[in-house]
Amino acid sequence: MTDLSKLPEYPEGVGFSPPKPWQQTTVILFDEENETVDTNYELRFVPDGKGGMIEEVVSIGTAKVPCPAVVVPTADELRQVFIAIGNRYGWQELEKIEEILGAFPLSFTWNPNFDFKELEWDGRIEALIEEFKMFPAVKIAEVLSEFVPFDFEFTDPIFGIKVDVIKLFKDPEYKGQLIQEMRDKFEELKDLLPDLSRENWDGTDGVDSPDLALTQMFKEMISEIKKMLTNSLYYGFEKLIKVFKEIWDALGLDFIPSLVIDILTFDIDGFLQSIKDKWKQIKEETGQSFKDYLLNIQLPLIGLTVGDIINLDSEDSKIDFPNWDTQKIINKIRAYFRDFPQKLIEEWMEKVTKFFEQIGLKFPIPIPFTFCAFLEVIGFPKELNIANALTLDA
């Protein structure tokens, strides 16, 4: 396995890949039990590099993307598929997927000169699944804005960058503009990154990489915008009910659980920092890494450990990078606190459909909005043809 525990600092700073327009395509749905398959082969004649031709048996199998029918799926199954494709058959097999995704995931940025494809795709899939709930949030907000005032511009509280969530989804060039703004201000903004993430990439914990620092900064900015959007949805529905108070009261319905606000205002970074401080006190005695310590932390509300909701193991992985795995765990915990409130809102929306019907409010998407529905909207195929995947001697 490639050991990336020490990465060079790039003197030219950080960069980004310009986003491409996203598109909608027809997809084929498969059930959640589909896994990567590789069953068909054909005989081909290929150049031998010496002016002649040789016979080879080439795999022409397909990889079926798992699409579990749940509201908030984990990234593990999809991550396993893509790492397997890239490391077994070559990362060029995923180039078409990259073109389809365009500016998605919204929270993902990568310097093309930082050439570690496994990390790139691992980060891309992680971000894609972590942010898919942002799409229905924007769609719900657009409908609400037809009935009550709604602001679609939010200023990120960490770095002070203003983000228009409508443009973020509809203008393919807008993401690149935001990345460029953060890149231009990188030196003044990098120290604003929460300590837990900053120390992972500024050399404190053994790795100094501006590239990965920028990637994390952009991810956390989008995460904060998502949290603010969810908060606005809560109060947007509160305003909506006041406008149609007579109808609401006549139906005798309950409002969104206040737990939504409790979670949104929970100091997740303080919680995580306290965990790291406790680990520092025992690390010499136990010899346990921060990554392993995090995996055993029990999350409030659901009573599960972090290890229960994330799987870092992969037989196809070729890169051993503890800092990367630690950051993934931190991001996963943050995503849990960020996405759970919206899950509660969507569950509440299912219970008050009579109210929406009586006031003439219709949503253009199914609620709850599933990950598979999101993949369909952004044009992500459910079946990947691996035309040049595996070559065997005949």
Q: Is the pLDDT of residue 212 over 90?
A: yes
> Among 13-22, 84-93, 355-364, 373-382, which stretch is predicted with the lowest mean pLDDT?
13-22
Model confidence pLDDT, tens digit, residues 24-78 = 222 233 334 444 333 344 444 445 555 555 544 444 445 555 554 433 345 567 7
Position with higher pLDDT, 4 vs 18 = 4
The mean pLDDT value for 202-231 works out to 94
pLDDT reported for residue 208: 95
Are 53 and 283 spatial neighbours (Cβ–Cβ below 8 Å)? no
Q: How does the average pLDDT of the chain come out, rounded?
A: 80
Are 294 and 272 spatial neighbours (Cβ–Cβ below 8 Å)? no
Domain locations in the chain? 2-393
Position with higher pLDDT, 386 vs 226 = 226
pLDDT reported for residue 275: 92
Cα gap 201→184, rounded to integer Å: 18
Query: Which token pair is 131?
Result: 């942010």
The mean pLDDT value for 351-365 works out to 94
Position with higher pLDDT, 387 vs 307 = 307
Position with higher pLDDT, 212 vs 62 = 212
Model confidence pLDDT, tens digit, residues 93-122 = 888 888 888 888 889 999 988 889 999 999
Q: Is the pLDDT of residue 127 over 50?
A: yes
Q: What is the DSSP letter of 114?
A: S
93 Cα distance to chain centroid: 21
The mean pLDDT value for 370-377 works out to 79
pLDDT reported for residue 355: 97
Position with higher pLDDT, 70 vs 221 = 221
pLDDT reported for residue 27: 28
Q: Helix 322-351 crosses helix 117-131 at what angle (to 10 degrees)?
A: 20
pLDDT reported for residue 345: 95
Position with higher pLDDT, 80 vs 175 = 175
Cα gap 345→376, rounded to integer Å: 23
pLDDT reported for residue 52: 55
Q: Does the CA dihedral 283-288-294-300 come out positive or negative?
A: negative
pLDDT reported for residue 28: 30
pLDDT reported for residue 25: 28
The mean pLDDT value for 157-179 works out to 93
Model confidence pLDDT, tens digit, residues 229-267 = 999 999 999 999 999 999 999 999 999 999 999 999 988
pLDDT reported for residue 81: 81
Q: Is the pLDDT of residue 326 over 90?
A: yes
Model confidence pLDDT, tens digit, residues 257-290 = 999 999 999 888 998 999 999 999 999 899 999 9
The mean pLDDT value for 178-191 works out to 95
Are 98 and 112 spatial neighbours (Cβ–Cβ below 8 Å)? no
Q: Report the percent of the chain where pLDDT is more than 70.
A: 77
Cα atoms found within 13 Å of the Cα of residue 43, Cβ hemisphere only: 4
pLDDT reported for residue 128: 86
Position with higher pLDDT, 78 vs 393 = 78
Concatenated DSSP letters for 301-321?
TT--BHHHH-----TT--EE-
Strands (E), the chain: 2-3, 41-47, 53-59, 62-64, 153-155, 162-164, 319-320, 383-385, 391-393
Residue partners of 136: CB distance under 8 A and separation at least 6: 342, 346, 365, 367, 369, 374
> Among 21-30, 143-152, 187-196, 333-342, which stretch is predicted with the lowest mean pLDDT?
21-30
Pairing state between β 53-59 and 41-47: antiparallel
Written as one letter, the residue type at 120 is E
pLDDT reported for residue 248: 97
The mean pLDDT value for 6-30 works out to 34
Q: Is the pLDDT of residue 297 over 60?
A: yes
